[in-house]
Structure formats: structure tokens, C-alpha cells
Amino acid sequence: MDRRHFLAAAAANTALAVTPSAFAAETLEGKATRVAGKGVQLEWNAKSARAAIYVSTDPAAPRRAMRQVKTGVTGGQIEIPAEIAPRPYYLLAADGRETRVAERLLPLQGGRNFRDLGGYRAAGGRQVRWGKIYRSGVMSGLTNGDLDYLSKLGVKVICDLRNPRERQDEPSPLLKANVPEVVAFDYDMNASMALLATARTREQAIDVFAMAYLQFLETLTPNYTDLFARLAAGEAPLAFNCSAGKDRTGMASALILSVLGVARETVVADYALTQVYTPPSLYKAQMAQAGRVSGGGLTAEQARAFAQMPPEVLDIIMGSDPAVMRKALAQVDDRFGGPVALAKARFGLTDARIASIRGAYLA
């Protein structure tokens, strides 16, 4: 099966909203999911309302500049013919309310968990802008077609959060191009990996994984500081990645969304999406067949050690269980006063920079 078709099927099985509160009566919410063939499934919560649908290749296009593709649609869903490129961005309008939606998972042939952070609701009902901030796993499998697709999205910078060994083992093909710029910092992850190996039960796995996430805040301080500096300077569209696109990248996403004012449960739900697109079973199968994990950031020796873990522990380590991020962020609350206070204390943000970031990436 084409990887894009597999991922489209996985995305179609996710909930329409990422949090129970996201579908408050006064807020129109929706999602767009690539379906097999040349189409996008649009879904929204105002099922009884008559909705109008507009499309543009510009994520920030005003409604008057967008093309109307359907009007008077009821039932809360419709499939729209749509090519993969140029990337379509939709505006749904119903009963005087509007929301912008796009495919969260980019339809890349060789991508791993490459998705857009746009569309999430922030304080005051504003949305994170689509097409500005992307998160991903390892990019070594990107095809020439994928690279062309990303080029047309205008991605300026890739913040590679991987350590030197990972970057050497699975180099980014983007290093061969002048654009986008690929930025990385050297560090050692052995302490965090050793911590994960101590877990023997599911509860212990959640605890040590959350502790490892707190360690990332120390180990990756230069990475996260640089990432926020680039966002504040307007160097977007921007993407950041690690190997699996769930742990170091997951903490970066949680920090960014929190700084933008996105609700905690939405932040956690975004983290949990990774195990929809790259489930633990994928990594387990790789370890069983080859004794290593492609794109998982593990050495062959580490993969063999992890393969000996109890299944319930491995599901946590190789997944993105919401309990891990909830615990990690609760510890951030206790130690630093929350993600925003942490970003100001450690990653170079100020109130003025936060206001600038929100102005640039919220609509």
C-alpha cells in the first residue's frame, strides 16, 4: 500500500476535534483529511447548518480572494476533489462563523509524521495559522517529489533536533540544497536513553519518559532557544524535527503551542497524534525483523535492549501516550510556573517577543 494512502486512512480514523472543548456551540471547527485518490474529506461540527466552502493555495487568503467550491452543504461533511499540489487550504463558513482547515499530515511519499501545527484554537478563539510551523520525524526518506512539494510550501528553515550520530546515520537530503537552511546543535542523549531503560511497568515508563522530557529542556536548550529566536524573527515557514518526531519534537511543539496560548488538552492531543501516524507496532515490527528502528533514533544495541522490555513498557516508549505529556507539562508547571514562564526563563523569550510571535502565527 502507498504510504500516503495508509496515513490517510489513519488520519481519517482520528476524532474531528482534538479536545472536548474544541466544539463549543459558538465555535465552528473542522478538519481536512486526504483520501485515496485525488480528494480531501472535509468535516465540521455544525452539521445542521448550511455551510459554504472556499479554497485557495494561499493559507492566509481573505474569503473574497478564495474560490467558492460548494455552498448550502449540510450534514457536516463532504469530499472535495483536490490535487496533492499545490496544497489546498479551505475556509468553512456557516451561520456567520468561519474556520480554516487544511490537511494536518502532509501527503509526502517518504515523510515521517510531517505535519502542520496550524488550525488549533488559542485564547480568544484565534487559530494558529496554517502553513507556517511544521513538525516532523526524520527526513532522510524524502523523495525528490517530496522535496519539490516542500520547496513550493516556501519552507525557509529546518531546525534538526537530532544528535550528531543520528544526523550522520540518516542525513537530511535538504543539506544538499541552499534552501531551506538546516540548523543543528551537538549534544549527547545517553543519559536520557539510560533512564528509559530502567522502566519495568507501564506506570514506571510514563514516569521515566516524563523525566526524560524534562531532561530535554536542559540538553536541548540551545536548540529550543534558536527555534524560538527564529520564530520571533519571522523565519517562517519553518519546520523542526527529530528522528521519530514525537519526543524532542513533541516537547518543542508543546512549548510553541503553549506560548501561542493553545489549551493544555489540545497540546496533549497534538502530541498523541504521533501514535496514530506512526504507531508503536511499526517500531516493534522493525526491531523484530532487523534489530533496529529506522527513524527512531536508536542504535542497534539500544533497539535490541528495548526489544526485551515488557510490551506495555515498549508501547509507552515507542508511542506518544497522552499521560506522558500531561505528566511532563505538570512537572513544568511545578518547577517553572508553566511552559510560558519556562520559555521566558530559559529560551530567550520576553513579553514583547511572545506578543510578536502571537501576532505573527495567530489569525
CB within 8 Å of 159: residues ≥ 6 apart: 183, 184, 223, 226, 227, 230, 238, 239, 240, 241, 252
Percent of the chain with pLDDT over 90: 80
Q: Are 35 and 12 in contact (CB under 8 A)?
A: yes
- DSSP H or E segment with residue 33: strand 30-35
pTM of the predicted model as reported, rounded to 2 decimal places: 0.92
pLDDT of 104 > 90? The answer is yes
pLDDT of 15 > 70? The answer is no
Q: What are the two backbone dihedrals, phi and then psi, of residue 334, each rounded to the nearest 5 degrees?
A: -65, -40
CATH superfamily placement of domain 1-103: Immunoglobulins (2.60.40.10)
Closest CA to 273 of 81, 2, 31, 25: 31
124-138, 197-211, 214-228, 294-308 — which is least confidently predicted?
294-308
| Per-residue pLDDT, 6 | 46
Nine cell digits for residue 262? 493553545
Q: How far is the C-alpha of 94 from the C-alpha of 113, rounded, in Å?
A: 31
Tell me which of 297 and 337 has the higher pLDDT: 337
If you average pLDDT over residues 98-114, what whole number do you get?
A: 97
Percent of the chain with pLDDT over 70: 90
| Per-residue pLDDT, 223 | 98
pLDDT of 1 > 70? The answer is no
| Per-residue pLDDT, 307 | 78
- Locate the domains of the chain by residue range: 1-103, 104-361
| Per-residue pLDDT, 356 | 97
| Per-residue pLDDT, 305 | 76
Letter string b/e over residues 103-113, b meaning 16 or more CB atoms within 10 A of that residue's CB: bbbbbbebbbb
pLDDT of 108 > 60? The answer is yes
- Asked whether the domain spanning 104-361 has the same topology as the one spanning 1-103, the reply is no
| Per-residue pLDDT, 234 | 98
79-93, 274-288, 299-313, 325-339 — which is least confidently predicted?
299-313
3-state SS assignment for residue 40: strand
pLDDT of 172 > 60? The answer is yes
92-96, 101-105, 129-133, 287-291 — which is least confidently predicted?
287-291
* pLDDT tens digits for range 65-96: 999 999 999 999 999 999 999 999 999 999 99
CB within 8 Å of 25: residues ≥ 6 apart: none
If you average pLDDT over residues 219-232, what whole number do you get?
A: 98
SS3 of 154-165: the string is CCCEEEECCCHH
Q: Are 205 and 318 in contact (CB under 8 A)?
A: no
* pLDDT tens digits for range 291-318: 556 656 666 777 777 778 899 999 999 9
| Per-residue pLDDT, 19 | 43
| Per-residue pLDDT, 308 | 83
pLDDT of 331 > 70? The answer is yes
Q: pLDDT-derived band of residue 50, with 50, 70 and 90 as boundaries?
A: very high
Q: pLDDT-derived band of residue 18, with 50, 70 and 90 as boundaries?
A: very low
Which CATH number among 3.30.160.250, 3.90.190.10, 3.90.1640.10, 2.40.30.10 corresponds to the domain 104-361?
A: 3.90.190.10
If you average pLDDT over residues 314-335, what whole number do you get?
A: 97
| Per-residue pLDDT, 11 | 56
pLDDT of 23 > 50? The answer is no
Mean pLDDT of all residues in the chain? 91
| Per-residue pLDDT, 4 | 55
Instruction: Kindly report the number of other CB atoms within 10 A of residue 13's CB atom.
Output: 8
| Per-residue pLDDT, 296 | 60
If you average pLDDT over residues 193-213, what whole number do you get?
A: 94
Nine cell digits for residue 71? 455552498
If you average pLDDT over residues 325-347, what whole number do you get?
A: 98
pLDDT of 54 > 70? The answer is yes
> Using CA of residue 315, residue 316, residue 322, residue 323, what is the dihedral sign?
positive
If you average pLDDT over residues 49-57, what whole number do you get?
A: 98
